[in-house]
Amino acid sequence: MIRELIKRRVPQIFGLYLIGSWGLVQFVDWAVAHITNFVVALLLLMIPSIVLLAYRYGQPGDDTWTRVEKIGVPLNVIAAAGILYFGFAGKDLGAATTTVLLEDESGNEIVREVPKQAFLKKLAIYHFDNETGDEGLDWLSYGTTLGLGMDLGQDLFVSAQGPLDGGGVGGILLDLQEAGFPDGVGVPLTLMRELAEKRHLEYFLSGSISRGEDGLELQSELYETRRAKLLHRRTFIGGEALELIDMMSEQLRRDLGVPEYSLEESPDLPVSELLTHSVPAFEYAALAFHMAAGGDVAGSAPLLEKAVEADPTFALAQAQLGTVYLLSNRTSEADSAMQMAMRHLYRLPERSQLGLRTLDQWLFKQDAEKAFGTARYWTELFPDDIQGHLLLAEIYNARGDRTLEIEEYETILLLDPSQYDYNRRIGGLYAQGGDFDRALDYYNRYVELFPDDWRSYTGIASTYRNMGDYERARSAYERAAIVDPAEPSIPISLARLEVDRGNFEQALDFREQALAASKSPQDRFAVYELDELLHGRQGQFDELQQDYRRRSEVAAEFMNPVNLVINRANSTALQYAADAGREAEALRELDRLSSEISAPFDAFTAIAYLQIYQTLENKEQVKVQIDRLNALIEAIGFAALRPIVHLGNGRITEIDGDCREAIDSYRKVMESNPDSRPAQLGISRCQLALGEAEEAEATLLEVLRITPAHPHAHYQLALVYEETGRTADAIEQVDAALEVWKNADPEYKPAQRARELRARL
């Protein structure tokens, strides 16, 4: 038989087929991605036909096709086509990149090859466990993550997230801390998989640090997230830590299946070139980044100062130091550090450069338009890079442009449908704009994908709450509580529902549940925010003073100094102090807070000043605070503050008696914030003053449909009914207001006015 095969040249022909196939596979593997598997499958599936034809026609003689070839080859082709169709349906078999033509920031036309999102490798990186027994190497647990993330950032086909990303808001480290791993080390495999899956990352990497006979050893383990299956275990031995990280990064890209041409053509500078050649600088920076990610932003400054002292060209550390100084209210030092970062920007990968340039233009140079241009250029240069679209969405959010912000999130979903969380984000934006049907549509998409995620139901519940459908809202929150009984935000949301309905005792029960379930300072902060709502709605300012202190203390545990001041300034205790005759002490506290924060961010305190002066009907000071807010909007493009400006303008013209113009201003507020209660109450006051009692009644009934126990709306409606001679209805409404305010402080002015109205009626 073997002699017959050789005689018919089957081995020779089959060998040539294999050699040609191997060359073809090597070519497509270099140039494209999924098509490599397609070509391999096709070549393997066609082997029966090749062998059959070689056997039949490999030797000289008759070349006429027989019945065997006429039936066998077509059957093989049909079978191969069917297998390939079902095996590769929906996969992009084209090149892994696309060509883009655009203008850079200087107007120069450039052509770039950028990867398609379908071929992006999404990865979670966890801190490596220090198994050397040397506590002096604990920093390397964080340093490995920092260096690996930066090195991988050079390859556009890899997107990595780690405990050093995201800061204290939604970052992996925060989740790890809440699960009982404060430093993010020693994490069990099940939790690593859960957090990677939560972020829809298809792989995750963990590892360990040890010492062997040849020196330092790093061992990495790459897992597939869905099955928690170990794909590759690698060990890297000898040399300095940065050298081992370089070795690990190169191997990891291969293990992830990055296309061969990207491995050969992409920049692959040593991580020491991207970060620093100084091991002490690297150590200080790793500890500082870890500290900041855990919420202690100000505390990381001394470590970063040591890092840049050891290596002034350490661009990433300089940029982080500049940001830390800025958030710590050390403005001049912040500018100096950021200038040093920009001077050595060449050390960073291109995407990191674009991100830092945007940050510098937006917050340091306060050129909002230029920052917007750079962020937009990022999305044009790398149209499939989600991080650029996220940054642009944040800028649109600051500009108050909800429509364009939604467009960016929609783009992200088009690029990568597995970024499921943006369905919830889009749903929330539609709900803010009053488009509840579309909001529910996006929330329900998320529910269909993740019925066991409590967040699937809270978005639906909040939408129903905004619609005034309290029964369905409560039902959705209760479903969320069934999915995760230990999540403290759920009883907080249920408590807010009860506050809106005037059921304060039930709200307090939910409040106690939330406090008992709290696991972090952020959880306790949310409880104390609820306390402010509870006591503020009831006019209890003695209690609000306690709430303010507790909220401030717990906020200091995780907020940076600038955000801490802004948060304190915008508390209910300060904003509405004039309602209780406590404006003098509130203004003194605001003056103190303003002195702790530099321009332009000190203008955020104008929001609280504005509310106090509106209550006092001090037009001149209202104008001063509006000017401060307009300057802030101009400086950093924070147009999301414009509704507050419109509200202040409306109050000024209302005080002047120009109610038509006041209503126009209040309606501008509602264009951005359809559920703005202050704007609705302002409109109703002006409608009543203009003799439009029916319109005023309709406005207030809509407020009460959404928030049934809103005391100010009940009081204002009582005035409408008094004006129209409906005394019984007026009494009913003022009694409803007084029921909410039955435990108000004696000096609480709205309750005093309500009691005077009740006596008059």
pLDDT digits (tens, 9 = 90+) for 196-216: 888 878 899 999 999 877 788
Q: What is the pLDDT of residue 277?
A: 92
Q: What is the pLDDT of residue 67?
A: 59
Asked whether the predicted pLDDT for residue 340 surpasses 90, the reply is yes
Greater confidence, 15 or 254?
254
pLDDT band at 24 (very low <50, low <70, confident <90, very high): very low
SS3 call for 391: helix
Residue with tokens 């203004």: 587
43-52, 618-627, 658-667, 731-740: the lowest-pLDDT one: 43-52
Asked whether the predicted pLDDT for residue 30 surpasses 50, the reply is no
36-50, 166-180, 300-314, 453-467: the lowest-pLDDT one: 36-50
Provide φ and ψ at 112, rounded to 5°: -135, 150
For residue 252, the 8-state DSSP code is: H
Phi-psi region of 144 (alpha: psi -120 to 50; beta: other; left: phi over 0): alpha
* HSE, side-chain direction, 13 A CA sphere, residue 604: 21
Q: How far is CA 736 from the centre of its chain?
A: 41
Q: What is the pLDDT of residue 15?
A: 43
How distant, in Å, are the alpha carbons of 457, 469, 512, 546 from that of 493? 12, 14, 13, 22
Number of other residues whose CB lies within 10 A of the CB of residue 610: 24
20-24, 89-93, 740-744: the lowest-pLDDT one: 20-24
Q: What is the pLDDT of residue 375?
A: 87
CB-based contact 537:499 (threshold 8 Å): yes
Average confidence (pLDDT) over 404-421:
84
Rounded to a whole number of angstroms, the distance between the first and last alpha carbons of the chain is: 114
Provide φ and ψ at 734, rounded to 5°: -70, -35
Asked whether the predicted pLDDT for residue 44 surpasses 70, the reply is no
Q: How far is CA 740 from the centre of its chain?
A: 37
Q: Which residue in 321, 324, 161, 346 sits closest to 267, CA to CA?
A: 346
pLDDT digits (tens, 9 = 90+) for 720-748: 999 999 999 999 999 999 999 999 999 99
pLDDT digits (tens, 9 = 90+) for 611-648: 999 999 999 999 999 999 999 888 888 888 899 999 99
Alpha-carbon span 414 to 467, nearest angstrom: 29
List alpha helices for 617-748, DSSP H: 619-636, 642-655, 659-672, 677-689, 693-706, 711-723, 727-740
Alpha-carbon span 241 to 727, nearest angstrom: 81
The percentage of residues in the chain with a pLDDT greater than 70, rounded to a whole number, is: 83
The answer, yes or no, to whether the previous bond of 600 is cis (omega within 30 of 0) is yes
Q: What is the pLDDT of residue 5?
A: 40
| Interior angle at CA 369, CA 368 and CA 371, nearest 5 | 65
Residue with tokens 């892994």: 96
Q: Which residue in 458, 465, 405 sits closest to 436, CA to CA?
A: 465
Dihedral sign, Cα of residue 485, residue 488, residue 492, residue 493: negative
SS (H, E, C) 41-92: HHHHHCHHHHHHHHHHHCCCCCCCCCHHHHHHHHHHHHHHHHHHHHHHCCCC
Alpha-carbon span 367 to 505, nearest angstrom: 50
111-125, 653-667, 695-709: the lowest-pLDDT one: 111-125
Q: What is the pLDDT of residue 13?
A: 41
Greater confidence, 42 or 568?
568
Q: Which residue in 204, 201, 198, 195 sits closest to 228, CA to CA?
A: 204
Q: Which residue in 423, 440, 358 sits closest to 395, CA to CA?
A: 358
Q: What is the pLDDT of residue 8?
A: 43
Q: What is the pLDDT of residue 431?
A: 92
SS (H, E, C) 417-485: CCCCHHHHHHHHHHHHCCCHHHHHHHHHHHHHHCCCCCHHHHHHHHHHHHHCCHHHHHHHHHHHHHHCC
Average pLDDT across the chain, whole number: 84
3-state helix, strand, coil in the chain (%, to 5): 70, 5, 25
Q: What is the pLDDT of residue 7?
A: 45
Residue with tokens 């101009």: 634
Alpha-carbon span 384 to 351, nearest angstrom: 12
pLDDT digits (tens, 9 = 90+) for 64-87: 556 555 555 566 656 555 554 555
Buried b (16+ CB within 10 A) or exposed e, 615-625: beebbebbeeb
Average confidence (pLDDT) over 500-518:
95
pLDDT band at 177 (very low <50, low <70, confident <90, very high): confident
How distant, in Å, are the alpha carbons of 62, 369, 394 from that of 645? 92, 21, 21
Structure token pair of residue 540? 């209890």
Structure token pair of residue 18? 């294999």
How distant, in Å, are the alpha carbons of 545, 575, 749 from that of 582? 11, 10, 11
Q: What is the pLDDT of residue 343?
A: 93
Residue with tokens 């082709």: 77
The percentage of residues in the chain with a pLDDT greater than 90, rounded to a whole number, is: 48
Q: What is the pLDDT of residue 94?
A: 47
Average confidence (pLDDT) over 407-423:
83
